Amino acid sequence: MTTYHVVARNFSTHSENRMHSDEMASRYGFRGALVPGVAIYGHLVKPLVNHFGAAWLNDSCVEVKLIKPTYHGDELTIEWAGAGEDVIATNQRGELVSIIATATPQVISNEPRELGLEGELKLPGRPDIAWDNVCIGEVFSPWAVQLSREENLRYRSEIGDDDALYENHIHPHYLLSLANEALMQEYVMPAWIHVKSKITHRAALQVNDAVVLRSVVTDRYERKGHQFIAIHLTFWRGEEIALDIEHQAIFRIAE
C-alpha cells in the first residue's frame, strides 16, 4: 500500500468560478470555498506516476470522480494498493472525497469527424451558460495553446509536486485544468462544479509543445435539481491526438 498525506489548497480564489470563494460557496450550502477538482486530481495521480514513470503519461486511461467537496486546509490521505487498484482520497473526517479508477480508452482515430467536430460551430462570444444554449453536438472554436514551462511550474507548485519528471513533461494537473479553461472560453460560468473526468494519455506532452484543443458538447442532463454539461476535448499536437478528456460539470446548482 502506497500512502501520501497532503494538505489541500485553494489557489483559485480569484477565478471567474466563484465556487472557489467563501461567499458564493456558502450561498449554496457549502462550508466554504471549494478546492478545484483538477488540483485533487493532481494529488491523486502522484502514486501512479511515481510507480509507472513517464510511461504512464504516454499511455494510460483513468477516470476521476469527485465525490465530496474538499475545502482549503483539508488534510487528505491518498492511498493506492497497487496496479489494477483504485487510488482513493479521504479527508481528516474519514470521508471519501475522490477516486481514480482505471478506465477503457475510447477508440478514436486522428480524424476530426470521429469526434463530431464537423458539426455546427458555436457562435462567437461568451453567452451566460444556460440549459437552452448547451446544445449536444455543438463544436467549440479550436483553441491554440503553447504549453509553457512557467505555467507547468505554477501548476506543479500549487500542489507541491517537485518530481523531476515534470521538468520536461507537462503535469496532469495543468492538462486537466485546460479542460476547465475550455469551458470558460465558451461560456460565462459564475458558479459551477467539476464532477468527473475520463483522461486518456496517448502521447506524453512536453514543455513548449504547441497544441490545439478541439471540443464538442456530448451531453446535457438534469439530476437532483442540478444541470450538467459533458464535453469531449482532444489535444492535437500537429496531426496526432496526444490526449483526450471527457469532462463533466454541474453548470447550474440546485437551490
Whether the CA torsion 13, 14, 18, 22 is positive or negative: it is positive
- Using alpha carbons, select from 116, 105, 92, 88 the residue that is nearest to residue 214: 116
pLDDT digits (tens, 9 = 90+) for 41-100: 999 999 999 999 999 999 999 999 999 999 999 999 999 998 889 999 999 999 999 999
pLDDT digits (tens, 9 = 90+) for 133-153: 999 999 999 999 999 999 999
Compare 21 and 143 and report the one with higher pLDDT: 143
Query: In angstroms, what CA-CA distances link 86 with 6, 40, 64, 69?
Result: 18, 15, 10, 19
- Using alpha carbons, select from 77, 78, 68 the residue that is nearest to residue 45: 78
Query: In angstroms, what CA-CA distances link 218 with 11, 117, 151?
Result: 29, 11, 29
Looking at the chain, how many residues does it have? Answer: 255
Cross-strand pairs, 65: 99, 196
Q: What is the DSSP letter of 124?
A: S
Question: Is residue 122 over pLDDT 90?
Answer: no
pLDDT of residue 117: 52
pLDDT of residue 208: 97
Q: How far apart are CA 215 and CA 37, in angstroms?
A: 20
Total tally of structural domains belonging to the chain: 1
Rounded to an integer, the average pLDDT of 238-248 is 96
Question: Is residue 16 over pLDDT 80?
Answer: no
Q: How far apart are CA 189 and CA 166, in angstroms?
A: 31
Residue 147: domain span = 2-252
44 grid coordinates = 491523486
CATH number of the domain at 170, please.
Answer: 3.10.129.10
